[in-house]
Structure formats: C-alpha cells, structure tokens
Amino acid sequence: MSSGELVLPGLSLFGYGTQIMNGVLIPDVSTSPAFTELAGWAADGLRRRLAVLEQTIGGLRDEVAELRQENAELRRENAELKQEAGYWKAMHARAVEREAKLAEELETARGEIRKLQDRLFGRKSERDSRRDRSNQLQDPQERDAGTPPRRRGQQPGRRGPGRRDYSHLPAVEECVELSEDQQCCPTCGRPRRPRADTEDSEQIEIEVRAHRRVIRRRRNEATCDCPAQPHTLTAPAPPKLIPKSRFGISVWGHLLLEKFYLHRPLERTVAALELHGLPLSPGTLTGGLQRIEPMFESVYQALVARQVASDFSQADETRWMVFVKREGKQGYRWWLWVFLSGEAVVFRLDPSRSHEIPEGHFPKDATLVLMVDRYSAYKAMAQVKQGGIVLVFCWAHVRRDFVEVGKGWPELLEWALAWLRRIRELYRRNRRRLEAEPDSAKFQEADRALRQSMLAMQEQRDHELADPQLREPCRKALQSLKEHWEGLVRFVDDPRIPMDNNRFERQVRGPGLGRKNYYGSGAEWSGRLAVKLFSIFATLDLWKLNPRLWLMWFLQACATAGGRAPPDISGFLPWNLTEEQRAALSDPVPALASPLNSACQPAGAGELLPDVDRPSRRLKSNTVSRSDTAFGSTPGSPASFHRIRPWVR
C-alpha cells in the first residue's frame, strides 16, 4: 500500500471491504463474487473487443499495405505516363515537323512536275522575242504597260524582203505557141504574122530523177608495126568510190547528206528514191556506208587537231542510242559529246558520260578557256584542277533556273521575274559594250555600267540567301548562282567570252533531230560514221561552205585514190582553202561553164578527169539543150557535181 493510503480492515460497506485513498473512501469490491463475475464478463468483452480491434487493425494494416502498394503502382504508372506523355509530345512535335517537311516536299514535287510537264509539252525553242526574254513567263509589268504582242511574219512599217534572185539557176526555155485557131483571123481567115518579140515570164521548177550513166570507153588500134607497143588501147574507166559498185558518187553523196546533214531516216530516203524509179536494197546501202566510213577518218582527225589547238572552246553532251550490246554496260544509251571552237566542230561518241572523255579530248598541257554548262564532269577534269583549263559557265542555264522556278511555283512568279529582269539587264549592258569600239569612251561607260549591275546582283543574291524564310526553290537557284559565280563573271574582264552557250547548242540540234527520226546508230561503225560526218558538216556550216559541193568534191578525190582517202587531205580543210576555192564552194549552184579550174583543185587531191561530153536534147516544147544529169554526176572538181540544181532541203 502506498503512502497516504488507509485500509480499515473489518469495516465493510454493503458486504465489501473499504479503503481510504487520498482521503477518499473507496469500496473494495475485488473480493466480491459479483465483481469477480462482472470482471470476468468485462475481461471477456475486452478480449473479444481487443480481438476484434486486433482483427480490424490487421485488416487496416493489410489495407494500408495494399493502399501503399497501389499507391506505389500508381506513382510508377504516373511516372511512366509522364514519361510517355513526354515521348508522345516529342513524337507529336516530330510529326508536325515531318508533316511540314512533307508538305514542303509535296509542293516542291508539284513544282518539279509542272517544270517537267513544261519541258515535255512546252516549247522546245530557246529563241526569245525582242519584247520579252523571260521564256514564256508573263511579266505583269510589261503586260500592264499595254504593249501589244508582236505578230508573226512581216511587221507593219518595215521594208519587205523583196523577191529572191534565182539568176544563178540554169534556164530551160519553153516556147508556147498559139493554137491553130488563134493563128488566123476568125473573121476573114487570113493568117497572123509572127512577131520577133515575146512576152516572157519565169517559174521555178524542180526535176529530180535518176538515170543510168552509160560509159562508152573508146578503143583505138595501132596502124603501125612498132615493136613493144600494144595493138589496142582502151580509154581508162572513170574512178569508182566503191569498186564493182553500180552506184556512183552522187548516190552515196545523196544518202550521206540525207541522213547526216538533213537527218532523215535512211528508210525514208530509200522510199523517196523509189518514187523516182530507183529502188535500192537496204543491205547494199548498209554495206556501202560501212566501206565509206574509213574514208573520213583523216579529215576527222584533222578537225580534232584544229579544234583542241584553239584558246577558246565550248563543250556539251547529249544522249545518243547505239543498239549494240557491250560487256559491262547496261542498256543502249551512249553519249554524244560536242566540242566547238572558232574554226572546227568535233563530235565524239562514247558509252560513258564521265570526265575522262573531255579530259582525253584536250591535251594534258592544254591552256584555254572552256565554256560549259554546270555538269560536274567538266569540273573533275585534270586540266581544270591543274589550272590549265579555265571554266566559264553559261548564263542561259542560270536564267533557265529562274524560269523553272516561276513555272513550277506560281506563287514565286514575281520573285523569278525580278531575277530575270536583272539577267536581262546584264545582257543589254553587255550588248552595248560589245557594240562600242574597244577603249573608247562609250565602251568604258558601258563597261562601268555592266560592272555596277554585276555588283548589285551579287549583293542582292547574298542578301536573299541570308534570309532564313527564303523558299527552298529560290535558295537552290541562288545557291547554284553563288557556287558558279566565278565562272559566270569572266566575260566581264574578257569581252571575247560570250555570255551563253546558245550558239553552240544550236550545233547539236541536227543530231538531236536525227535521234528522234532514226533513234541513233545500229552498230559501232555507224556511230563512228555519224560523229565524223556530224563534225565535218558542222565545220562546213561554220565556214559557210556548201556541204554538198564539198562532199562530192571529197568523194571524187576518194574515188580517184582507189576507194580510200586521198594521201594528202590538207587541201580539203576549210582553213587551207584559197579565196577562190571558198567562193566556188560557197555558191549554192556553180556556173554552167567548165568547173575544171585550178582554184578548186586541192593539193594532193589528184588529177580529176575532164568533164565528159553528153549529148544534148530538147524538151518537147522547143527547149534549149541542157545536160540531162540531175541525180548523176560527172568527174571533176566540186562544182562539176552540181551543174543543174541542188537537192531540195
């Protein structure tokens, strides 16, 4: 018992003992049976409640554990969802960026489609009107100015071309008589007296016909008895281009001109000749052309040597089909390379489009200026890397970039037209400079204006390229302009350099037409013949020489040499001709006088046979006699092959 606690034994209240604690009388019920029973009930209730509480607490603990686990899972799921949300946000941003990029690519592709459609179905000519040099791009500034479109044909207020002079053609006179009724007076019947004068007029006619050239070689027999002399002498046979061939030089020359100068398929030429009564076998012609091909090799090599010796050249390439199978090459597409200088044009045919072809064409130590397009093969040439060959680029190709932007993307039309106007101004100012005398005040003024335009264009280009909002088609065109700027401005310092390659590209129009008409070459020898004659005819056009006159002249020399090229071909080269020879080879039709003069006889060509006399004849209506050679030819210099009229082209 603790201190302050007082127990009074023996004192009971209600049958229980009592005790005083802290001055308070407390009954002692622990010894009471009721209390014991009550305490047992209470203890049992507490135990049950405690058990329930323990069970409840255990359930709550389990629930808390489950909630904690669920909370952990939710936290983990939340973290994963946050991570996924960040991923999908990034994916969405990438998708939006990709969609924008695809939309831009789609617009670019649509622009490219419009450009290709224009190339395929639009005008193929590079010729521009004097009013607008923008190649079919309609300039609103010029349209708003009210300038009417220029009509085709003769322009009002300009002098007409006048009648052409055909006095060089041979004249075939035809006398038209009055009918028998008109020769007498219808009233009295007395005859009308013929007058000395006539009423004359002219008409231009064409008569093309084949004929057989019957050669009768005279034979003389001796009237003496001199020893060691033949009893009978026969005149020598005229030379033949192909031994034992029935077809003369005029036939082969006509076929070569038709295919390689006029670019008509051989099949059409054969069909046309058959209409004139001359059926030809394609196999015979193919074999003959194959034998003729080596005859032009020496002339071709002379053109190559002359062309590579120039200090300024132009080069280009185009596709050409050669239908032969070659090991290591797929398909039949070859490449026709063209090289032009001031005195010669050379074509080359090769299966490859690599830099090795122009690199092999020029000597390793070549020093010249070469105008090309922006094809990378020219930039990879060893002579270019070494600095021997300086490349200049064509402004027409640059201008074409802006034209394509304007055609492919209509919303960029104004931008493209602005650049076309700047380029047009360059052409205009350079033309004014070329029209002035060198070192004159007018030349200096035009040169200064041209340089100012070049500087302004360069500044405008750099300003637009610095704009991040510049559209991709515009940026591509300006970036190409910047990359090739050094080669584009060389004409400013050297006025001899042209601004574009248009004059040169006109040289490949003929072969391009031939490619469409007869697809290409069926054999490698045919391709070699094509490039040789393309080169020769283009060079003759460069020198303004009649290709038919020159070709017949050269083929006659080949026939005289026994069906091969003459030993010395220098006299046939255009730059070696005298003024008299050039004049004789430039006339469309030579005079009817004897063409056998020394001016048209090249060195090494051999002695040409004199003209063979032919019987004259008269037409049915009192015509003056003339030679009946139209398709055939007679031996002699080039003029002798065109005594009547040239073939119609």
- 254-311 per-position pLDDT tens digit: 999 999 999 999 999 999 999 999 999 999 999 999 999 999 999 999 999 999 999 9
pLDDT at 20: 56
Whole-number Å distance between alpha carbons of 111 and 410: 9
Domain of residue 12: give its range: 1-28
Which is more confidently placed, 146 or 410?
Answer: 410
Q: Give the closest residue to 128 by CA, choosing from 395, 390, 330, 385.
A: 395
Select the more confidently predicted residue: 51 or 500. Answer: 500
User: Given pLDDT bands bounded at 50, 70 and 90, which one contains residue 41?
Assistant: confident
Question: With 70 as the cut, is the pLDDT of residue 361 above it?
Answer: yes
Residue range 74-79: mean pLDDT, rounded: 89
User: Are residues 587 and 601 both part of a single domain?
Assistant: yes
What is the band of 364 on the pLDDT scale with cuts at 50, 70, 90? Answer: very high
What angle do helix axes 395-408 and 413-435 make, rounded to 10 degrees? 160
- Which residues contact residue 477 at a Cβ distance below 8 angstroms, ignoring those fewer than 6 apart? 401, 402, 405, 419
As a whole number, the mean pLDDT across the chain is 81
In this prediction, residue 383 has a pLDDT band, given cuts at 50, 70 and 90, of: very high
Q: Are residues 300 and 372 in the same domain?
A: yes
The domain that holds 294 is classified in CATH as: 3.30.420
* Whether residue 644 is found in the same domain as residue 573: yes
Task: Find the farthest-apart pair of alpha carbons in the chain and give their distance in angstroms, rounded.
Answer: 207
- Which whole-number Å values give the CA distances from 266 to 192, 254, 521, 630, in the listed order? 57, 11, 12, 20
> Which of 256, 170, 341 lies closest to 547, judged by CA?
256
**pLDDT recorded at residue 147:** 59
Least confident of 113-122, 240-249, 319-328, 605-614: 605-614
Contact (Cβ atoms closer than 8 angstroms) between residue 473 and residue 408: yes
In this prediction, residues 105-133 reach a mean pLDDT of 63
Task: Measure the CA–CA gap between 514 and 260, rounded to whole angstroms.
Answer: 8
Place of tokens 């008589």: 177
Nearest of 246, 178, 184, 170 to residue 214 by alpha carbon: 246
Residue 586 has pLDDT above 60, yes or no: yes
Q: How far apart are CA 139 and CA 149, in angstroms?
A: 12
**Residue at 561 is within a domain:** yes
Share of the chain above pLDDT 70, in %: 80
In this model, does residue 21 exceed pLDDT 80? no
605 lies in the same domain as 461 = no
The pTM is what? 0.72
CB atoms under 10 Å from CB of 195, counted, come to: 7
DSSP string, 432-479: HHHHSPTTSHHHHHHHHHHHHHHHHHHHHHHHHHT-TT--HHHHHHHH
Instruction: Check if the beta carbon of residue 355 is closer than 8 Å to that of residue 544.
Output: no
Is 308 found in the same domain as 435? no
Average pLDDT, stretch 47-75?
86
Q: How many domains does the chain have?
A: 5
Tokens of 183: 């020769």
How far from 476 is each of 240, 309, 356, 407, 501, CA to CA, in Å? 60, 37, 28, 15, 22
Burial 81-100 (b: 16+ CB within 10 A, else e): eeeeeeeeeeeeeeeeeeee
Query: How much is the pLDDT for 31?
Result: 61
Residue 439: what pLDDT? 86
Residues 452 and 524 in one domain: no
Same domain for 277 and 375, yes or no, is yes
The answer to whether residue 13 scores a pLDDT higher than 50 is: no
Question: Distance between CA atoms of 109 and 472, rounded to whole angstroms?
Answer: 12
Q: What is the pLDDT of residue 489?
A: 95
**Closest Cα partner for 556 from 249, 258, 299, 257?**
249
Q: Per the domain annotation, does 462 fall within a domain?
A: yes
If asked whether residues 343 and 372 sit together in one domain, one would say: yes
Is the same domain home to 366 and 440?
no
pLDDT in tens, 193-220: 888 889 998 899 988 889 999 999 999 9
Residue 487 lies in a domain: yes
Confidence of residue 158 (pLDDT cuts 50, 70, 90): confident
* Alpha-carbon gap, residue 337 to 350, rounded angstroms: 8
Which of the pair, 491 or 144, is modelled with greater confidence? Answer: 491
The DSSP bridge partners found for residue 26 are 19
Q: Which two tokens stand for residue 146?
A: 């009210």
Name the pLDDT band for 168 (thresholds 50, 70, 90).
Answer: confident
For the ranges 156-160, 539-543, 615-619, the lowest mean pLDDT is seen at 615-619
Q: Based on the domain organization, do 285 and 386 belong to the same domain?
A: yes
What is the percent of the chain with per-residue pLDDT over 90, rounded to a whole number?
A: 49
Would you state the structure tokens that stand for residue 466, as one six-digit string? 């610095």
State whether 267 and 377 are in the same domain.
yes
β-sheet bridge partners, residue 13: 16
Other CB atoms within 10 Å distance of the CB of residue 72? 10
Query: Which run of H or of E encompasses 34?
Result: helix 33-121
- What's the pLDDT tens digit per position in 559-578? 999 999 999 999 999 999 99
Look at residue 239 and tell me if it is in a domain. Answer: no
**Which amino acid is it at 599?**
A
231: pLDDT strictly greater than 50: yes
Same domain, 595 and 525: no
> Could you write out the DSSP letters of every residue in 99-130?
HHHHHHHHHHHHHHHHHHHHHHHS-------S
